[in-house]
Each structure stands twice: as structure tokens, then as C-alpha cells.
Amino acid sequence: MDLIRVRVLVSGLVQGVNYRAECKRKATQLGLCGWVRNLPDGRVEAVFQGPKERVEEMLRWCEIGPRMARVEKIQAMQETLQQDCKSFDIVYYVK
């Protein structure tokens, strides 16, 4: 199985529209591990790890987001796999 890990930055109207909760629901449905959080600058950041085709499906979802979201841009960067990645969580930005 071809596993990948991708960090994504999502810009637009993506906070206050259930983006994190829906992202977690979709990632869990796809069997991915990682996390999602709001950033102070209004973007959403997420990390997805799992089978390549499922991560790619998640990235397509990120381009649209939940119904009330207005995604303007996503940036995706591949990262090194993490062995301790077991679940998908909503995390909180800490300065």
C-alpha cells in the first residue's frame, strides 16, 4: 500500500463554517490519520496521512469544503510519514 502524508493550508472563508468538524468527519470516513486546526490568520491547516488515493480524495474535498465555506486556495506539501499517526483530531493553535 502506497502511504503518503500531506500538510495543507486552506485559505478563504474557512473558519466559522464547520470546516474543521466536517474535515474530521471526512478524514475519519476515509480512514486517514492526522489533524486539523484554525490558524490565527484565518486559514485552516491540516495534515492527512494514509493511502495515496484516499489522501488525494481528501485534498479534492478540501478544495470545496463544507456547504458554507468559500475556499479560495489550497497549498499542499508532502511530508515524511509519522509512525505514531493513529487517529484524526481537531487540535488548537497554541502560540
For the chain, give every domain's residue range: 3-81
The tens digit of pLDDT for each residue in 67-82 reads 999 999 999 999 999 9
Cell numbers describing residue 80: 515524511
- Low pLDDT (below 70) residues in the chain: none
Q: pTM score, two decimals?
A: 0.94
Question: Is domain 3-81 annotated with CATH 3.30.70.100?
Answer: yes
Reply yes or no on whether 20 is catalytic: yes
The single residue of 5, 7, 18, 20 carrying the catalytic annotation is: 20
Reply yes or no on whether 18 is catalytic: no
Distances from the Cα of 88 to the Cα of 12, 17, 42, 47, 70, angstroms? 23, 19, 21, 9, 23
Q: How far apart are CA 46 and CA 26, in angstroms?
A: 12
DSSP state of 42: S
The single residue of 5, 38, 43, 54 carrying the catalytic annotation is: 38
